Structure formats: C-alpha cells, structure tokens
Amino acid sequence: MYIGVDCGTQSTKVVVVDVEGEAILGEASRAHRLSEGDNGRREQQPQEWVEAFRGAFDEAVTRAGIERHAIRAIGVSGQQHGMVALDAEGLPVHPAKLWCDTETAAHNAALVARLGGAAGCLERLGLVLQTGYTASKIAWLRDTNPCAYRRIESVLLPHDYLNFWLTGEKVAEAGDASGTGYFDTRTRRWRHDVFAEIAPELDPTRVLPRLIDSREPAGTLRPELARELGLSPDVVVASGGGDNMLGAIGTGNIAPGIVTLSLGTSGTVCAYSPESVRAESDMVANFCASHGGWLPLICTMNVTSASTLVRELFDLDLAAFGERLAAAPIGAEGVTVLPFFNGERVPSLPHATASFLGLDSRNLTQANLCRAVVESATFGLRYGLELLGPLAAGASQIRLIGGGARSPVWRQMVADVTATPVICPQVTDAAALGAALQAAWCERHDLSLSELCERLVHLNDASLAEPKAASVWAYETIYGRYREALAQHHGVRVD
C-alpha cells in the first residue's frame, strides 16, 4: 500500500493506493486557514499542514480498512513556490509565504533587473522570474524583517518541509526546485550566484537543501513518528514534488501529446517535453518534471478562487451556482469579467484588480455574472495554452483536473473555448494520486512509472466533452472581446 499526500492552498488530502489491486482504497482531507493581508499578502502556518496531515492520514487509513504495516512508502505533493524559512531548531522564522502572495512584486522586479532582465534570467535559470516564486519572498523578508532573516538556517518549499517533518532530512528535487528562482532548470542545479543576489548574507551550501533525483528517496520515517502513526520505521518517503508535477503524473501526462489543465484555486496548463524548452513567451515556465524530462507550464491565479467569490456573493451552493451557470447563454449577454481578484501571473499583472464590464439594466443577472466569471477564468487558461505553442497545439486531448472539473458545464466550456476534446481522469484530485504513484515508483524498482500509470490512471469516459462547432465559433468572438478588454484596461497586447 502507498500513501499519496497533496498539501494544497485550501487543504491537505491523503489517499491510500493499492498498486496490485489497482485501486484507491481510502481518502480524506483537512482544511487549512489562509491568512490574507494588505498588498497581496497570503501566508499560512506550516504547523497547520502537519496537523492536517495527521488528521487526514488517520481518517484515510481507517477508511481503507488496511493494516498499517502494509504501507510501504509515502509521497508528498505540495503547493509550489512557498517560502518556509527555518531556524537552527527547525522552526519557521516567519509564516510561510505562498505562491499566491503578490506582496513581493517590487522585489521580484528588482531581482529581474539585477539579473539582466528577461535575457539574463533565461541565461542563468532557463526561465524568467515571476512574482510568486520563492526568490522574491526571501528578498522581501531580508528587507522587511531582518531579525527573522538573520535566524535563517535553511529555506525549504512546502513539500520539502513535510518531507523534513517526516524524515528529518532537508532535501529537494528538480521539479519543485524549478519554481524557486535560484535553480537552473536546464542543468538541474542550484545557482549559488543567483542566490547571492537574493540573500548575500546566507551561505547557499548551508541554507539550501540537498538535491536528489526524483526516484531517490528523501529518507525513511523518523522512528518516533513511525511509532506515532503506527507504521514501520522502514517506510520510505519519496522525493515528492510540486503539485503541478505530481498532478501531471496523476493524469498520465508523462509523455508528449497530452495537456493537463487544472481548474483549481489557480489554473495551470502543462505539457510534457523530453527536452528543455525555450518558449517565445517569458510567461512560460520551463520547469523540470518530477519523473525526468521537463514540464513547461503556465499558471493563472484566478480560477475557482474567482468563481467562489461570485458564488458566495450570491449565497449560492455549488448546485445552485451550476444551475445559474447553465442558464446563461454563451457570452453572458455581453458581460465580461477580468477576474484578477488576486492579481495575475499570466498575463503578468501582479497588482491588478477585478473588473466587471459591459453591465446594463438588462444583463445584470445572477446567471450572467456567474457565467461571465467562469468564462473569463477559462479564457485566461486559453491565453496561457496559446503561449505553450507547438507543445499544446499538437495535443490530441486535454485532461482536466481540479474542483472545477466536476462541473459538466465547465468541462464543455473548456472543450469549446479550446476546440479540443476534454476528459477527466476518474481521480480529479490528481496530485495526491501522482504522489502515491511516485512513491511506488521510488520504492518498487520492478515497475516503471508508465506501468504504474496504466494501472492506476483511469479516464472517466462519462466526462468526455467534444467541442461543438457552433459553440467553438461563438467563443471565438467572445474570447476576442475578452482580449480587447485586457488591452484596453491593462495594456496587454492583442495579436
């Protein structure tokens, strides 16, 4: 039996996977609190991740009805880019700043300038620093809280922190490390010279975790934790990875020809590449995959986070929101939303705010506002999909994951907006499954990752949405309206 863990923005999920039986036997989750403040501050307490893991693990194993000694390995997926800065005792010197924190936008711009602009970033890192990456968070802490900064003994990512708690080892792997901003995604090595630009007082050989291969274990369980959880101390903890990388594994996106699109709190679009990618757009992140190769990716910051705000504004449950969404016509009778409640990464608008455009006395309805926010979030993902160029253009299928993928109306919308067939895996919370698959791949050398994906990644044929010609044509006009609004209100070029 193998345990998959996904520590996300809203909750930590745990799944129990039976590789031989090709089934998920149990699953559970526990919520986290998100602390939000002025200037785009978004933080969490790492201890809440630990407590969420404990609760979700116990419930998932109980639901699975298995003997705990049957568990062989644990894999951890985590929200990317978060800064977990620890002192000499292994305690956080500051709450973890998250991927969606935009308070560090000015520090990011300053770092990009010091590295020689986009060209300099590409030369040293293989990608261009974005607001939200770990690098600017460390620079921000140095400027705003020097006392905490001086106590730093190590800097980890969220999934690295959970691995540290599980094993006592401070390690990192290439997929998640790709989003730090001080890692060369082409050579899979820390860039100590770039780290020196961010934190000149910190010794990177001491502060940065040891890099391991994606199939290499982070370690085994700490004996005292193994006793607490009722597990063998020989349980392997896999390298783990970022949620996008392990979500790709959990959807079987481990070879060219498939696009994984996530309708989660944020939105991501990624496609596997066997080679490092130099994209035409600086907004495409040339991340490494967590199983070898690369996973070029774009991330938008407002998907279900935006739709949830509108749903809660009208005090609608998910079923009622779905009814409103289906009731409004394509184009929401002229309503366009720029859904940048959290700023935006793609396009790069860290200080942007949301706008509702085209409202009049006839189209101001709940249904149209619900439809417009979902359409606009989807347009943002199409905008990102187009930036991936040939990797996405050659895709035969989009595999849809995340909470929004449960909506048949939203699935059809994605198919029509992208003019590509869309299908969901049976497990739409794919990062936790991907973590369990990576754990099995790490612990069992008799099985390849592709064999593991064949066993456990099953598509839900009932979720298939084929693009409808009339709707595809209609959305071309509506998407053009969205792009015009981007240009008019935010200066984003319309090609």
What CATH number is attached to the domain comprising 218?
3.30.420.40
In a domain, 414, yes or no: no
Residues in the chain: 495
DSSP state of 265: S
- Reduced to 3 states, what is the DSSP secondary structure of residue 5? strand
- Reduced to 3 states, what is the DSSP secondary structure of residue 67? coil
- DSSP H/E element including 30: strand 23-31
- Reduced to 3 states, what is the DSSP secondary structure of residue 410? helix
Residue 350 token pair: 């860290």
- Reduced to 3 states, what is the DSSP secondary structure of residue 494? coil
- Report field, pTM of the whole predicted structure over 0.85: yes
* CA-based end-to-end distance of the chain: 51
Pairing of strands 267-271, 258-263: antiparallel
In a domain, 129, yes or no: yes
In a domain, 78, yes or no: yes
CA distance 391 to 276: 12
- Reduced to 3 states, what is the DSSP secondary structure of residue 380? helix
pLDDT reported for residue 20: 93
Pairing of strands 2-7, 336-338: unpaired
Using the CB atoms, write b or e for 103-137: b if 16+ within 10 Å: bbbbbbeebbeebeeeebbbebbbbbbbbbbbbbb
CA distance 343 to 353: 6
Q: Is 243 a catalytic residue?
A: yes
Neighbours of 473 (CB within 10 A): 11
In a domain, 83, yes or no: yes
- Looking at 126-222, list the stretches that DSSP marks H as alpha helix, in order from N- to C-terminal side: 134-144, 146-150, 158-167, 174-177, 192-198, 204-207
* Conformation bin of residue 275: beta by default, left when phi > 0, alpha when psi is -120 to 50: beta
Neighbours of 146 (CB within 10 A): 11
Task: Provide block-wise average pLDDT over 10 residues at a time, the chain (495 residues).
Answer: 95 96 95 91 97 98 96 97 97 96 94 95 93 96 97 98 98 97 97 97 97 97 97 97 95 89 91 85 90 92 95 97 97 97 89 95 97 97 90 84 93 96 89 97 94 95 96 97 95 76
The active-site residue out of 243, 282, 416, 429 is 243
- DSSP H/E element including 117: helix 117-125
Number of structural domains found in the chain: 1
Cβ proximity of 137 and 97 under 8 Å: yes
Pairing of strands 96-97, 42-44: antiparallel
Q: The domain containing residue 198 runs over which residues?
A: 2-243
Residue type, 56: A
Q: How far is CA 60 from CA 25, 63, 68, in A?
A: 8, 5, 11
In a domain, 404, yes or no: no
In a domain, 328, yes or no: no
In a domain, 13, yes or no: yes
CA distance 488 to 486: 6
Look at residues 350, 300, 489, 266 and name the one whose alpha carbon lies nearest to residue 39.
350
pLDDT reported for residue 495: 63
DSSP state of 334: G
Within 8 A by CB and 6+ apart from 21, the residues are none
The DSSP line for 284-315 is SB-PBPTTSSB--EEEES-SHHHHHHHHHHTT
pLDDT reported for residue 494: 64
